[in-house]
Every structure is written in structure tokens, then in C-alpha cells.
Chain A
Amino acid sequence: MLNKSHAKTETVQESASPLRLNLICALNCEAKSLIDKLRLKKQNQTVFSTYVGHWGVADQSVLVTVLITGVGAMSMAAGVAWLAAVQNEKYLNSVWLNVGTAGHGEFKLGAPFIVSMSQGVFSSRRFYPPQVARRAVRLSPCMSLNAPSSDYPETGGIDMEASAFFDVACRFTQAELVQSFKVVSDTPSQGIEHLTANIIAEIMQPHTEAVLVFSKALLLLAENAVQKPNNELVMPQIRATHSQRQQLNDRAKRLAFSLPAEKIDHLSSELLRLSQSVSDEKKAANLLLNYLDTAILNLQPTLHDSLASATQKHAQSRITQHGVG
């Protein structure tokens, strides 16, 4: 018989992660209007300058981080990797938005655009960020150079960070949630000579709302990225190998998604009872696995229930497409 105190319980599914928005800028002046608007607080003693806070979107609280990486591909890559390491992997569906200025051969000064294709000078790799979130600004390709330039492509933009940003940020979340929002700061007729920190902040300021609207569209997608069960199956703590634990988790997840709350509760107590009744600790995992397998075998979906739960899930999705809360 297992010692009762040994039969602790653990929750199999992790609880729903909050939504997270990472706004990545090369320069402080590019981020200033966002930091002010969202009333973010500067973090002390971090490797890179970061500002954090909560943004209320509908009735959800989104964790926002503005990261200032410094200029150039290396700084951007290091900054993004650092932030991803500091945040932990449970934010697998974080939104990563690069916000900054760019030169452009065709668009006017102050025009905003979302990067449709990004390529760095040292790599043949091109990034085409999937355009799923609704956008209200135009698309444009953007070439990332390793130094400021007044040589503008006929139809695209130039910057120094986007390509490194995509290369690194895409490793930490879904590609659809990694985007770059640029505002044209220099053109063939108005080159980079006129740019100061104040001017850049002024160029960015009118687009604060547009950045937030686009962020919100991305958060709406992030919210849809992964479903978590409404109910959690509580698994007794037992001795199990890694593979047994994986199998138990898999079965528990299926059942948590498929059964109503009261049945999940009943199942949780049954599992606890079973784990306590077994005399040989090593057999507990197999016993629970068999029990869960039988429960799965007996699942018989009814369309009436599944339609009702789909409607409920839909109603629970609270971030809507329009307007910033």
C-alpha cells in the first residue's frame, strides 16, 4: 500500500498562460511613444533596456515588454535571444513585433508599412512573415543592410535589423506572430542626414495607435494558437518512467478535452483511489494507464455536446478584431 502522504497530486495540464507582447526596437526614440502610451516601467539592471507593464485589451491583461536592442543585426539578434531566454518557454505563443524606422525608395516620409519580405545582405535567406493578422497599412519588402545607406531600392525599404529579428524571433514562437512594423524615416529626396532622436520620435508618434491595433490583431491570433482544456485532470503522484509519464499526460489531455467537469472530477478521485490501492509502487503507472485507456475507449462523442462546447469556446474568446481597449 502506498503511503498516503506519498500519493500527492499534480495537475497534468499547465494553466493558461497570459498573453505576451514583445515590442522590439533598435532605438529608444523609436519606442518612446509606445512606452508613454502604455505607461511602461523601466526595468533596472538588465543587460538591455527593457520597459514592462500590463496592457488591458478587452478584459484581458496582456504582458507587454519593450526591448531596446541597439542598432544593427548583431544587437538585434543578441537582444531578441536574451529576452527569449529571460522570459521562459511557457510563452510559446508570444507576439514579437519589431517596431522601427526604415528608409524607402518609393514610399513617402512618415508612411508606415509592414514588412512582407526581409533579407539580410550577408544571407541568401529571405523571410516572408505569414500575413494572417488583419492590417490597415501597406506591405513592403525590406532589405537589412550592415551600415546606414543612402542607396535606396526602387520599390522597397532598407533598415539594419529586420532580417536578424526574423531569423531569431521565429525560433521562439509561431511565424505568424513575428512581424515588423516600419515607418519611413528617409527617402531618396530626404536622406538620413536630417535624422535626430527627436525627429525619429516625432516620425513614430503618429503611428502609435496603428502599432497597437496591429499588435491587437496579432494577440487575437495568439489567443487562438493553442487550446487548453477548461477542466484539469488531477493526476496522483506516482513512480513512473519518462515514457509512462508521457503516455499518462497524453491520455489525461484527451480526457480533459472530452469530458464534462463533473466526470473529470470523478476520474481524478478514481485515479487517486487506484494509486493508493496498489501494493507494488512500480505497478501504479500501468494500472492508471489501463484505467485511462478504458475511459478513452468508452468515449463516444455526441454532436450536440460538441457543438455546444464549440459555441462556448467561441464566446470565451474575448479579444475582438476591432479597436484597442
Chain B
Amino acid sequence: MAIIETSGLSRRFKDVIAVDDLTMAVESGEVLGFLGPNGAGKTTTIRMLAGIIRPTGGEAVVAGHRIDRDVEKLHEVIGMLTETPGLYGRLSARRNLEYFAGFYPIDDVSTRVEKYLKLMGLWERRDDRAGTFSKGMKQRLALARALMHEPKVLFLDEPTSGLDPEAASEVRQLIRRMQEEGCTVFLSTHNLAEAEMLCNRIAVIQTRLLALDTAESLRRRFFRRKVIVELQSPDPNILAVVKGLPFVQEARKEGSRLSVELMDSERNRPELVRAIVEAGGKVVTVSEEQYTLEQVYLRLMNEEKISDAQAHS
């Protein structure tokens, strides 16, 4: 069952279109990666879905509430981790949480706050001012704040950006834990590896939605790894042989290098090498190349342009 549904959701700021015609659905209990470079419209989308800013077009329903109508009810069932932690530096960790807890229908605030401070490993520092915390601790405190009313949907805006690897991995573990508890997580990130690690499905956005699929099928479509076979000398016949193999999707020759895309990189590689050797090719090295996120974007953007052009002709 979809817990987030958007239809034609758009937002413009004066002459800048930040989000254009976003139509998608997120299933309950899913961790959705919202992947895009800086300025792609991730924060704007999250702000709209969290009822903080209004869309200029389209609509969305989150956990049964229209984002532009039932804002108060919506806010009871969502949690949001903003791009900057936005804590009160002069208040203690505990007071920060107590203050926010005071806006939700939570019966026993201090027990709840204790539970989440412990969960985030901040209990020992509960009475220290949030301003004295490290970046990672601030982020965990902000995460506690977003979680402590036990929302159905959690919006996380680049939760690991600016954190050192260790702090980032702690935050990721916490996100996994949220998912185990059945929370739907809408995770914005510009980190492809992170999205792959945590998410059931990934939406790639660049103002418009470019793709939405599981990491696996996106990889098959866009992030497919290429095998690079370095030959001792250029040999035109070999390219033809490689192209004829059933598991090869695409092959190109650049001098003495062959760049080959396989259906299944791991499994097909030995067979590819054997076929080349049998055809008389002298293999120097075999290596693997991955598309970077930028290449993926370029590719997606190009497809977009092509389909636009087709639509207009």
C-alpha cells in the first residue's frame, strides 16, 4: 500500500523551477532513496511532502493526509530531519528533545526522551549543551528529535552529509533499525553508494523524476559495470567475436582496449575472457569500470532529452 503518493507535484521559486511534475508512490515500510546532485530539488520535495512549503502545482498525500490541507494531522505522523540539525545550542540535549516532544501528544515525555537519548547513544551526555556536541552527535540528536514521536513516515534530508565515515555509518545503522521497526523512510542523498546500501528503491531526480526502480534494476539499466579488456595489440576480428557472444550487451573498441558491457558482470567475465583467448586475442589485463553518478545523470538526462525531442516531433 502506498503511504506517499504524489501527482504532478511541482514547485517554482519565481523563475526557478525547483521540482517539476513529480509523480511517484512510496510503499509503506519502504526505504526510498531520493538521489540527485545539489540543486536537484531534493530539499524542496521533502519540504513540500512535510507540509512546510506549499507546492505551486500538483498534489500529494502522505500517510492519508493531503499535504496542503491536513497539515497539523500530517505533522503528527511524520518526522523530519532537516538539512542542518537546527538544534538549540544553548539548551541541553535533553531539553532540546523535551521541547519538541511537548508539541506531540506524548504522555510521558521524560521516559520517551530517555528512550531516544539512549537509542542514539547520547544518554551520558544528556545534560550537556547541544552546542558542545560533535557533528555526528548533533546529527544523532536531531535524528532522535525526528523519531521520538514514532512517526509513520520519516523524511531524512542528506542525513550523512558532512559527517566523517564513522559517524555516517552510525547514522546508517540507525536508519536500518528504523526500517526494521516498520517505519517508511524517505531518504534524500547525493551519494549513490549510500542509496544502494540502504534503500529498497531509488528515485533519481534532477528537477524531474528521471528514474524510479530498485537499486538492482537501476544498476542493470544505468550503473552496469563495464569490463575493460586490454589486449597486447589491436585486433579487429576480436570485436566481432565479442559482439557475437549471447551475454554481451554492448562492446566497443578503443585502440587495443575493449570495453564490454555484460548481462552479469561476475558470471560472464570468465566466459568472455575464454572466448577472446580462443579467438586468438592476447589478454594483458582484465579490469572493471563503473559508471560514476555523474555519468548516470548524463545518461539519464540524455535519454530525457531524446524522449522530449521525440515527443515534440
Asked if A pairs with B, the answer is no
Query: Which residues from chain A sit less than 8 Å from chain B, CB to CB?
Result: none
Using a CB–CB cutoff of 8 Å, the interface residues on chain B facing chain A are none
